[in-house]
Amino acid sequence: MYGKWQYTDKSHKFERKMISDFNFYSCGIQNCEPNYTYGPISREYYFIHFITSGKGTFTLNKKSFQLSAGQGFISPAKDLITYKASADDPWNYSWIGFLGTQVDQYVQLLCQQQNPIFELEEPDRHFFHKQIAEIIEMDSNDLSKYLKGNGVLNTLVGHLLENKEIKKVSIMDTSIAFQARRYIDLHFHDGIQINELASELGVHPNHLSHVFKKKYLMSPKAFLRKVQIDKAKELLSTTDHPINIIANSVGFPEPLAFSKVFKKATTLSPSDYRKSC
């Protein structure tokens, strides 16, 4: 039977999901008609698809992959993607969508050597499908579905990373740029300086800035500010902590300095930003 069943969380603002670490966004099941095509399209969030039966073509930035039951694929955010079901054996798949500040790191581990395709053992194929179907079929409010979706998302990604085939070829990025980014992600609240970061990594600050900008299209300082501002936005919109506590939590011991940097980045003072949420 052809058709599409899906659930998209609408109990939380999309903007808040973007500045949180790792968030469930939507999920669904699609039984495709022959030659059913979706795209070309670019989206602001990631998807993982699990093919339960049939065949189809997944195209990512003009590179096409012929896929069939027992395989899965990852659709990266912002890239151009197209799905097309086979004419004689159209695929059926389930999918889950997600976003957040830590997603790039997780997807890097899942996409081995820039390969968005992965293999699934028979039990896993049905395990993923069943988990997603349970969310869609839940007879409950949006908050319950959202929390269930987050739990399933973490379980699925954890299960994929535990998969032996993924584990065998998984190579964590050990570049200076990635190490710097990871260090900033973990220590942005410590008021770190780029010179200190370069020293920690054993490189000259100029070299660090060069390799970081080449990989991430911004300087380490700009990235640090982005992480601090994004986290401050999250805290302002989801907590009632005083501004001085939020400032200190994102690496600014002086609230006035924090307010100045925040307003420069957002055009709003921290207080006005909180009122707008």
For residues 156 and 192, state if they share a domain: no
The yes-or-no verdict on residue 265 having pLDDT over 90 is yes
Higher pLDDT, 8 or 66: 66
Region 33-55: what's the mean pLDDT?
89
pTM confidence score: 0.57
For residues 116 and 202, state if they share a domain: no
Q: Dig out the tokens for 128 from the structure.
A: 């993923």
For residues 223 and 257, state if they share a domain: yes
Q: What is the pLDDT of residues 89-124, one digit of tens each?
A: 999 999 888 887 777 777 777 775 567 888 877 667
For residues 45 and 180, state if they share a domain: no
Burial tier of 16 (Cβ tally within 10 Å: 0-12, 13-18, 19+)? middle
The yes-or-no verdict on residue 83 having pLDDT over 80 is yes
- Domain span including residue 199: 176-276
For residues 109 and 205, state if they share a domain: no
Residue 260, amino acid: K
For residues 132 and 17, state if they share a domain: yes
For residues 134 and 188, state if they share a domain: no
Task: Report DSSP state, residue 90.
Answer: B
For residues 24 and 124, state if they share a domain: yes
The last residue of one of the domains, among 154, 169, 184, is 169
The last residue of one of the domains, among 124, 151, 169, is 169
Q: How confident is the model at residue 171 (pLDDT cuts 50, 70, 90)?
A: very low
The yes-or-no verdict on residue 184 having pLDDT over 60 is yes
Pair 5, 45: CB distance under 8 Å: no
**What's the confidence (pLDDT) of residue 234?**
86
| Residue 62 vs residues 69, 168, 174, 177: alpha-carbon distances, Å | 22, 28, 28, 28
Higher pLDDT, 148 or 94: 94
Q: Give the pairing type, strands 71-75 and 46-53.
A: antiparallel
For residues 193 and 68, state if they share a domain: no
The yes-or-no verdict on residue 46 having pLDDT over 90 is no
Pair 109, 170: CB distance under 8 Å: yes
The yes-or-no verdict on residue 143 having pLDDT over 90 is no
Q: How confident is the model at residue 18 (pLDDT cuts 50, 70, 90)?
A: very low
SS3 assignment, position 254:
coil
**What's the confidence (pLDDT) of residue 164?**
47
Which positions ≥6 away from 64 have C-beta within 8 Å? 57, 58
Give the Cα separation of 125 and 123 in Å (integer).
Answer: 6
CATH number at residue 233: 1.10.10.60
Angle between helix 122-137 and helix 142-162 axes, rounded to 10 deg: 170
CATH number at residue 94: 2.60.120.280
Q: How far is CA 213 from the centre of its chain?
A: 21
Q: What is the pLDDT of residues 201-224, one digit of tens each?
A: 889 999 999 999 998 999 999 999
* Block residue for tokens 């929390």: 147
Domain count, the chain: 2
Region 30-36: what's the mean pLDDT?
93
The yes-or-no verdict on residue 55 having pLDDT over 90 is yes
Q: How far is CA 54 from the centre of its chain?
A: 28
Question: What b/e readout covers 201-240, taking b as 16+ CB neighbours within 10 angstroms?
Answer: bebebeebbebbeeebeeebeebbbbbbbbbbbbbbeeee
Q: Dig out the tokens for 197 from the structure.
A: 């970061």
For residues 152 and 254, state if they share a domain: no
Give the Cα separation of 155 and 146 in Å (integer).
Answer: 14
For residues 11 and 147, state if they share a domain: yes
For residues 143 and 30, state if they share a domain: yes
The last residue of one of the domains, among 169, 203, 234, is 169
